[in-house]
Structure 1
Amino acid sequence: MYETLSKNPNLIILDDPISSFDKNKKYAILQMLFREDTSFKSKTVLMLTHDIEPIIDSVKALGRIFKNQTNASFLQYKDENITEKEIKKENILTFTQICKNITEDKNINKISKLIYLRRNFEILDDKGDEYQILSDLFHKRTKEDAKTYRQEKDSSLTGEQFEIDFSAGMKKLKKVISDFNYEDLLKTIKNQEGLKKIYEAAENGYEKLQLFRIINGEFAKQDSFSDVMKKFINETYHIENDLIHQLDPREYDLIPEFIVKKCNDCISDLPK
């Protein structure tokens, strides 16, 4: 940094300078690069990164320090084209805010809404009755199967207590999605062709990957998927769970195109 400053350049380009560091070191490096007296804060800097954390910090914190002279953009490569979309302060949300916006949107199908709702419960570490119902639903369990599954995990759970827990979970879910109906949604999830249509209509990679996991729960056993790809798909639910703020996946598609294409091919090959 000091050598660069000594040359007094008109433009400084930083190519992913902090992605390989842990969270504490990232912020220490950002502090050194942009906030100290001897830093780049009076220079024009172009920073490229795959890491959302410095972007959030730059837009939310550095923007204030630099009197809104900090700009951020999301670059996406898709269909052999690169598109650029500005990231503004109002685009950085908590996942709870993202989930609320989606569940209140009448144009989004219920299955997609439930995908976001389930993840919101995970992020909040709220795995109560309503979370368990969604878990049973996504694993295609009938209510009776759900009771058996839970009793196998907890031998003290009586049929009566299961009904109480299930009823409590349904009540909470209906506060979010008023017409939530377990039996109807289970029919939708078990209807592979119908679910494939929902998958095909999904407009972002995050939703496609979650729908893919529901449709093809056995994909992890397929040799056509590398171990790295299996790990990525399985852990998409948990990406950035530790971040307080993030970008709406409907607006900023962070899933690599080659992952989505692989899932598309697999869905197309499923028997009808």
Structure 2
Amino acid sequence: MLAAERRDHLLGLLAREGKIVAKDVAAALGISEDSVRRDLRDLAAEGLVQRVYGGALPVSPAVVDYAARQTVAPDSKRRVAAVAAGLVRPGSALILDGGTTALAVAQALPPDLECTVITHSPTIAVALLDHPTAEVFLLGGRVFKHSAVAYGAAAVEAAQNVSAEVCLIGVTGVHPEAGLTTGDAEEAAMKRALAARAADTYVLASAEKIGTASRYRVLPWAEVSGVITDAAPDDAVVEQVTRQGVEVLFAG
């Protein structure tokens, strides 16, 4: 089989099954695992797959820059945001992650809701200026421009001195095997620091992130209270996540 044919085969397999297992492909095609891994490296370099140990997974579309992400599935993000905003009770404190779905959550909060919003995102803080009864606590640190958030040692230390009833975090990938992932190691560490300071942590996962993966794990399933998504209840990945005991809140 020519290299171009192997490439098409791998992409087709990924589309059908949601993952590529290198040893299985090698056995099926009668080629070496090294050849499969080389093909996967080439596909990963083009941004077409996310390599993982033993093979590859679908790459998340949410790894592009912040401005570009604002145009990705805006209606999907608004549906997720509407459900997430309903988790914030009057008088409570909310830790709100950065990113475009989190921004939709800030915009979905009722203008007259009395609450405290703790965030490391300047864009979230600005969005809440029009909410007169929402107290905003902005965590500072080095700015990660890709997601318009503060992160690094100073931001993590600041996060360790706050607490809240609910934390809403965004991820770039939700996969039953790879878990909850994002594309930057320090951003993943910041998300963990935020989640650790809340009684309950919910993951904001619009449908295009379901079944995809990025390089760095954010949290294990056991450390989240649930996933909020507008993916279909009978989606194969959602069903696998549910079987792991994770609560899924559906945004219709």
**Shorter-chain TM-score range:** under 0.3
TM-score, length of structure 1 as denominator length: 0.26
Report which of the two has the higher share of helix: 1
Report which of the two has the higher share of strand: 2
